[in-house]
Structure 1
Amino acid sequence: MNEASILITLAGVHFLALMSPGPDVALVVQNATRYGRQTGVYIALGLSFGILLHSILSITGISYLVHQQPVLFALLQLCGGSYLLYLGFGALKATITHWNLSVERSSSSQKALLLSNKRQAFSRGFMTNILNPKALVFFVSLMSTLVPASMSVTGKGIALLILWSLSLAWFACLAWMLSTERLQAKLNQASRYIDLLCGVIFSLIGLTIVWQSLTSFIH
């Protein structure tokens, strides 16, 4: 298989993985619907740079070494699962706190967050992706299967660019679609339910990862 075919296959597999439900998608959905387009796009930017870092670590073999060290990988799982639990409990707390807020108060608080939340949105997106041990395993498998060690430096650079740009484009488009004026008006009415759903997703995934890490420590 030549490099062009490898890159096309890599792009296809990665794009399908991006569309699958998970913490990254839930984070974009929750924040774009509650805080608007700008916050959603900065979340997308953070996620894409997390994916870029995972890709670099995998293509250089560092992630593979981490994956081969049971204690180190279990510690990463514990950190990642704990962070997802933190996001989940935060979303559930926000649901309870804002359950009785009026639409006007909710809207004004969103505007305030929109003006001062760029760095926080980027950081949350980046940390959510980079601390996800499932992402580490995915990219180790993806790179070891589709990117041969003999691939040229230019080819590997293009592969990294493809993974980053596809990630940014997908998550930014998702944030953009969820924050159009017509859809935003409808989603604002359901924002508490979206927070509740995302909180449950984060919490369940976080609990599963923490349980797996603790189990690996015991064994």
Structure 2
Amino acid sequence: MRQAVLAHHAYGGYMEILLPLITLAGVQLLAVISPGQSFIVVSKLALSSGRRSALGAALGMGAGSVIWAMSAIAGLAFILEKAAWLYGLMKLAGGLYLLFLAFKLWKHAPERPDLSAGSGRYVTPRQAFTLGLVTQLANPKVVVFFGSIFFALLPASSAPWVYVASLVIVFCNETGWYGFVSMFFSTARTQLVYFRAKTWIDRIMAGALGVIGIGLAMDARETLAR
């Protein structure tokens, strides 16, 4: 009986950690998929310089996201040490930011990203990696995302392996999605297939982000009320 109780508590403890990581993976993937500056860079490289260069940019963007994620984790540790009440406010900011992303994604769902201005100059995979890294480090959406979502989703005082796992998730989401973009968008025909379904894809993602954002905002309100 005692072993069953201990196993139940251990299972509950693992789920308390795994659920935030799963949610983080889903939310970050939805944010990555939403078309933006990085999407345009990889798509243009796929058309003008080929898949290898576009894959190089995807790796650079993954590296840039990990840098921002590490900065967010360092900020989380500092706030928990200096002013724990700010943790609740940052959770609320994360929920509201997801609602903002959902609104923007829904509003601009019918619009097509402008891929017509791509340069015909060949970019090597190494140059593309640097371009992807710089693009990600200079992207204000990425800065705000990691500055708020990590506070909202990761449990306070998590074990070090949780932060390592979150960095792996961020890198895999970023490079995995843009790696897919580099393969899929290497021809104009496959771009047309995506654009035909883009409105519905974006609005489904917007709805998912909105539901998660409302849940985070309500959870943050309960945290601040304690």
Sort the TM-score into its range (normalised by shorter chain): 0.5 to 0.7
Partner of 2:78: 62
Partner of 1:74: 88
The 1:35–1:113 alpha-carbon spacing in structure 2 relative to 1, beyond 3 Å, is: farther
Q: CA deviation at 1:24?
A: 0.9
Partner of 1:198: 205
Q: Determine the C-alpha separation between the residues in 1 that align with 2:175 and 2:223.
A: 36
Partner of 1:214: 221
Aligned match for 2:98, one of 61, 64, 84 = 84
Q: CA deviation at 1:168?
A: 3.3
User: Tell me, what secondary structure is at the counterpart of 2:139?
Assistant: helix
Aligned match for 2:140, one of 118, 123, 126 = 123
Q: Quote the RMSD (CA, aligned, Å).
A: 4.2
Aligned match for 1:48, one of 30, 44, 66 = 66
Of residues 165-174 and 127-136 in structure 1, the stretch that sits farther from structure 2 once superposed is 165-174
Q: CA deviation at 1:121?
A: 7.4
The answer to whether the 8 A contact 2:23-2:153 is kept is no
The answer to whether the 8 A contact 2:79-2:87 is kept is no
Aligned match for 1:189, one of 165, 184, 196 = 196
Q: Determine the C-alpha separation between the residues in 2 that align with 1:76 and 1:20.
A: 15
Q: Determine the C-alpha separation between the residues in 2 that align with 1:125 and 1:43.
A: 10
The answer to whether the 8 A contact 1:30-1:194 is kept is no
Letter in 2 for 1:186: V
Aligned residues: 176
Q: Determine the C-alpha separation between the residues in 2 that align with 1:75 and 1:46.
A: 26
Partner of 2:32: 28
Letter in 1 for 2:175: A
Counterparts of residues 170-189 of structure 1 (less than 5 Å): 170-179=173-182, 180-181=184-185, 183-189=190-196
The 1:134–1:20 alpha-carbon spacing in structure 2 relative to 1, beyond 3 Å, is: closer
Letter in 2 for 1:48: V
The 1:77–1:20 alpha-carbon spacing in structure 2 relative to 1, beyond 3 Å, is: closer
Q: Could you tell me the TM-score, scaled by structure 1's length?
A: 0.60
User: Tell me, what secondary structure is at the counterpart of 2:158?
Assistant: helix
Q: Percent identity?
A: 15
1:117-150 alpha-carbon deviations (Å, 9 max, x no partner): x479722123212211244427x4231xx49xxx
Q: Which gives a bigger RCO, structure 1 or 2 (Cα 8 Å, sep 6+)? A: 1
Partner of 2:5: none
Q: CA deviation at 1:84?
A: 1.1
Letter in 1 for 2:179: W
Q: Determine the C-alpha separation between the residues in 1 that align with 2:42 and 2:181.
A: 11
The answer to whether the 8 A contact 2:62-2:175 is kept is yes
Partner of 1:93: 107
The 1:119–1:178 alpha-carbon spacing in structure 2 relative to 1, beyond 3 Å, is: closer
The 1:79–1:170 alpha-carbon spacing in structure 2 relative to 1, beyond 3 Å, is: closer
The answer to whether the 8 A contact 1:81-1:208 is kept is yes
Gaps of 5+ in 2: 1-16, 44-56, 120-134
Q: Determine the C-alpha separation between the residues in 1 that align with 2:30 and 2:42.
A: 17
Q: Determine the C-alpha separation between the residues in 2 that align with 1:91 and 1:113.
A: 24
